[in-house]
Amino acid sequence: MSAGKVAVIAKITSLPGKRDELAKALDIAFDNVKTEAGTLYYILHADNTDETVLWMYELYTGQEALESHMGSQWFKEWGPSLAPFLGGRPELIFVTPLAGKGL
């Protein structure tokens, strides 16, 4: 077991032709998560089979760190700035890591 760590897998769908712009808009998050002690991984991926989909993998030290991230002022202000590029509401899957390299 990974001692209380929590993870989020987010499927973020863009409007057609807007995936690159959405990825650029997501860049703002990376500067902010660098200052979050409880954020261990925050990794953006491009889907290889769907040109409108991005995936974000996030790993936190625990539930409190995840809540701190999602409740932060920068996060609340940043979210609405993504709207012009989004093809729908991001799908969030909350998971508990059990084992693996890097845990």
Domains of the chain are: 6-95 (3.30.70.100)
Give the mean pLDDT of the chain: 93
Q: Residue 97 pLDDT more than 90?
A: yes
Dihedral sign for Cα 63, 40, 82, 13, please: negative
70 Cβ contact list (under 8 Å, min separation 6):
none
Residue 2: pLDDT band (50, 70, 90) is low
- 10 pLDDT above the threshold of 60: yes
In this structure, are strands 53-60 and 6-13 parallel, antiparallel, or unpaired? antiparallel
* Rounded average pLDDT over 8-33: 95
